[in-house]
């Protein structure tokens, strides 16, 4: 009889985590400051920019991240649930391309032609991987 009680108690301890487990929330996306830091470090590692150029590139990305966050919030308000990170936020591809084009035009004005060409190569490595797809190629 005593043995059966011990089995029941040990089984209870094994089941406790299952009984009290809560569904996991998707991970919180990085803050604007964290994203800015990551992008700045990556670009500065690969390119030599003046202080003025660094500030202009940082400002362009700050505007870009703010616009993308606004687009994400717009999707939430429209009843479109945001996908878990890292997929892009809800919104049309055209809206996201328009925001990216504005960012790239701002950066193009801050850099010379050779720097902008190098930036375009680096920028491709900054994209989060597509769900189920291969990660971006880093050179």
Instruction: State how far the Cα of 119 lies from the Cα of 124, in Å rounded to an integer.
Output: 9
pLDDT profile of the chain (139 residues), mean per 10 = 58 62 71 89 91 93 90 72 55 84 94 93 79 52
pTM over 0.85: no
The closest alpha carbon to 25, from 114, 99, 85, 87, belongs to 85
The closest alpha carbon to 129, from 81, 87, 96, belongs to 87
């Amino acid at each position: 009889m005593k043995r059966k009680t011990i089995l029941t108690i040990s089984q209870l301890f094994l089941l406790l985590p299952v009984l009290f487990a809560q569904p996991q929330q998707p991970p919180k996306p990085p803050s604007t400051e964290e994203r800015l830091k990551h992008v700045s470090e990556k670009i500065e590692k690969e390119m030599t920019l003046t202080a003025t150029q660094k500030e202009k590139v940082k400002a362009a990305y700050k505007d870009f991240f703010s616009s993308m966050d606004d687009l994400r919030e717009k999707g939430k308000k429209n009843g479109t649930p945001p996908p878990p990170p890292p997929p892009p936020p809800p919104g049309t591809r055209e809206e996201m391309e328009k925001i990216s084009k504005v960012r790239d035009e701002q950066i193009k004005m801050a850099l010379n032609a050779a720097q902008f060409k190098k930036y375009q190569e680096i920028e491709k490595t900054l994209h989060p991987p597509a769900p189920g797809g291969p990660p971006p190629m880093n050179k």
